[in-house]
Amino acid sequence: MKINILGAATTRFGELWETSPRALAREAMSHALKNADLKPQQVDALFVGNMLAGILGNQGNLGSFFAEELGVSVPAFHIEGACASGGLALHNAINSILAGQHKTVMVLGIEKMTDFNQEDITSGLMAAGSDEERQAGATFAGIYALMAQAYMQQYNVSEELLSSVAVKNHYHGSLNTKAQFQNIITIADVMKSTRIADPLKLLDCSPISDGASAVIISSENIGDVSNPVSITASEVATDTLALYQRESFATLSAVTRAASKAYSKANITPSDIDVAEIHDCFSIAEVIATEDLRFSKRGEGAKDIAEGKYTLGKGKIITNPSGGLKACGHPVGATGIKQIVEITEQLRGQAGSRQVKGARIGLTHNVGGSGAVAVIHILQT
């Protein structure tokens, strides 16, 4: 059975002080319906990816909550898996179609973070971590900093080289009108930005963001079928919550396992990928992902990024054309779905000034915690 993406839309990402979760969801879902040329009554079920509405806003039951905004009393589900909540929601939505339970399903990723104070957000995000890490006072910046230190030592990589991730993603973000940050930055800008958790600096870190993204997937050809994109693999793997329980800090085993299965299921190799959205919550995350996804050799990810191998107009595989989590923004539950929206627009040839020419095969890489869960999707025209 073929899973087609019928519609895809995202709100702007950013500090959206004047809007509510309900309004964000309405905007993303109504634009996805318009994009697909469908009515709400043609949607059989709703899957919602969200991490923090319960912890920060005391709102649960999010399936029913957002089904109200869709305006139809369909079966509705809330899937949570930290920053991978969006990708995991899509995975379960795909299963519901393959299972024969539904034909056409809306998947909403959403997060409203900026309404809360910084301390609560930092604490809330640590819900993705382990007891031990929380009790030790670790933050995710701190945890990824440990990974960066281990990686830099193991492969003799400099902070300057690491900085090239943010430089590339800000360049791509400058071409995306939906991005939270649309300014071009330099390696010098990254290097002189505030140190957050050594060696990570402010411009190595993705921001706190609001946003919602929605896709409509279906086993049927209904609505506007002029731009067919299909999902040919959806794979999930998990690992320990805590870093200290892992053999290496310089790779995420959940990513390598999920990616291997996804490549095999879609019957492609890493070099077949034209465009990928990568979970660059911190610059080191994108470097490691570039290697875990087998785009770059071990230890060469940062160098390859710095050399433009993944930059629009220069490289062969373009990573994070949306600007990634760093520049486009990271409303955690929305991120996994925004990645799908971006790849869909790329494969349809509708990505405007950030279009990857001739893109036919795309990948999304969505991670929860410091690699406790990974979701890989492969999309093809």
The two structure tokens encoding residue 264: 């095999």
Q: Annotated active-site positions, please?
A: 83, 330
Stretch that binds a copy of itself, among 80-88, 197-205, 267-275, 341-349 (CB under 8 A): 80-88
What spatial distance separates the first Cα and last Cα of the chain, rounded to whole Å?
15
For the window 40-59, what string marks contact with a copy of itself as x by the rule CB under 8 A? -----------x--xx--xx
| Cα–Cα distance list, 61 to 67, 106, 186 (Å) | 10, 17, 44
Please check whether residue 106 is in contact with residue 72, taking contact to mean a CB–CB distance below 8 angstroms.
Answer: no
* 38 near a copy of itself (CB under 8 A): no
Please check whether residue 84 is in contact with residue 367, taking contact to mean a CB–CB distance below 8 angstroms.
Answer: yes
Three-class DSSP category at 191: helix
Query: Minimum distance from CB of 245 to a copy of itself (Å)?
Result: 8
Alpha-carbon gap, residue 145 to 159, rounded angstroms: 11
Of positions 7, 63, 173, 323, contacts a copy of itself by CB under 8 A: 63
Alpha-carbon gap, residue 364 to 264, rounded angstroms: 15
Query: Minimum distance from CB of 307 to a copy of itself (Å)?
Result: 34
Query: Minimum distance from CB of 95 to a copy of itself (Å)?
Result: 4
* 369 near a copy of itself (CB under 8 A): yes
Three-class DSSP category at 197: strand
* 322 near a copy of itself (CB under 8 A): no
Stretch that binds a copy of itself, among 77-85, 287-295, 314-322, 354-362 (CB under 8 A): 77-85
Tokens 């990573």 sit on residue: 319
Where in 161-220 is the site for a copy of itself (CB under 8 A)?
none
Query: Minimum distance from CB of 261 to a copy of itself (Å)?
Result: 10
Helix ranges (DSSP H) in 174-220: 187-192
Strand partners, 231: 3, 379
Query: Minimum distance from CB of 292 to a copy of itself (Å)?
Result: 15
* 238 near a copy of itself (CB under 8 A): yes
* 372 near a copy of itself (CB under 8 A): yes
Alpha-carbon gap, residue 352 to 249, rounded angstroms: 38
Please check whether residue 102 is in contact with residue 72, taking contact to mean a CB–CB distance below 8 angstroms.
Answer: no
Residue 303 half-sphere exposure toward CB, CA atoms < 13 A: 9
- The DSSP-derived string for 90-119 is HHHHHHHHHTTS-SEEEEEEEEE-TTS-HH
Q: Nearer Cβ to a copy of itself, position 231 or 305?
A: 231
* 92 near a copy of itself (CB under 8 A): yes
Alpha-carbon gap, residue 196 to 199, rounded angstroms: 8
* 366 near a copy of itself (CB under 8 A): no
Of positions 8, 33, 74, 208, contacts a copy of itself by CB under 8 A: 74
Stretch that binds a copy of itself, among 63-71, 144-152, 180-188, 322-330 (CB under 8 A): 63-71
Of positions 253, 256, 260, 381, contacts a copy of itself by CB under 8 A: 253
Strand partners, 31: none
* 266 near a copy of itself (CB under 8 A): no
Of positions 38, 254, 317, 325, contacts a copy of itself by CB under 8 A: 254
Please check whether residue 248 is in contact with residue 299, taking contact to mean a CB–CB distance below 8 angstroms.
Answer: no
| Cα–Cα distance list, 325 to 53, 91, 136, 172, 216 (Å) | 19, 20, 26, 11, 22
Where in 117-156 is the site for a copy of itself (CB under 8 A)?
123-124, 126-129, 131, 134
Of positions 13, 65, 140, 249, contacts a copy of itself by CB under 8 A: 65
Query: Minimum distance from CB of 254 to a copy of itself (Å)?
Result: 7
Residues that bind a copy of itself (CB under 8 A): 51, 54-55, 58-65, 67-68, 73-82, 88, 91-92, 94-101, 123-124, 126-129, 131, 134, 235-241, 253-254, 257, 368-369, 372-373
